[in-house]
Structure 1
């Protein structure tokens, strides 16, 4: 997950993933490493955080993650 140290949506995404049983989340801090921000933007086409990946699949931001959860599509991604 691309993140910053002060992003409330990043924390909400973390909390949701932990509630679904995810124990470890790889965090890439774009506020500490500007080159990572450039990589994130090139990879996702987006400028905002969080940018969440499950495996190699780009999920998007917190709203996208929450939408998947509400539709019942998040858990299948997490267990595969």
Structure 2
């Protein structure tokens, strides 16, 4: 189990599990930057000793080990493409407003 992920999900409205060099992670973070999110944490796995453990835990939580994993109010909305799609549909803003992140 990954305490890092559990603590982040309990403590923050928006959580992004990411790698700095991943284009899909950059895509998701750029979409999220459009909003003035008050409560966001981005966990960059690049230099973490527990990166594999975190990704394995994300696979158990969300069904996918890939990054990014974007969570809003504790619920995974998907990765970079899904985050951009929700934004384009206007649903991302709704989710962020509903949980009080913006």
Q: TM-score, normalised by structure 1?
A: 0.85
For residues 76 and 42 of structure 1, the distance between their equivalents in structure 2, rounded to whole angstroms, comes to 27
Greater RCO, CA 8 A, separation 6+: 2
Q: Is residue 2:89 matched to residue 1:74?
A: no
Q: Name the structure 1 match of 2:9.
A: none
Query: Would the aligned equivalents of 1:3 and 1:51 in 2 still touch at CA under 8 Å?
Result: yes
- Runs of 5+ consecutive residues of structure 1 not aligned to the other structure: none
Question: After alignment, is 29-38 or 46-55 more displaced?
Answer: 29-38
Query: Would the aligned equivalents of 2:68 and 2:79 in 1 still touch at CA under 8 Å?
Result: yes
Evaluate the alpha carbon distance shift between residue 7 and residue 24 of structure 1 in structure 2; reply closer, same or farther with a 3 A threshold.
Answer: farther
For 1:1-80, what aligned pairs fall within 5 Å after superposition?
Answer: 1-31=16-46, 32=48, 33=50, 34-80=52-98
For residues 23 and 15 of structure 1, the distance between their equivalents in structure 2, rounded to whole angstroms, comes to 16
Query: Would the aligned equivalents of 1:2 and 1:52 in 2 still touch at CA under 8 Å?
Result: yes
1:29 to partner: Cα distance: 3.3
Query: Would the aligned equivalents of 1:29 and 1:36 in 2 still touch at CA under 8 Å?
Result: no
CA RMSD of aligned residues (A): 1.6
Equivalent residue pairs, number: 80
- Runs of 5+ consecutive residues of structure 2 not aligned to the other structure: 1-15
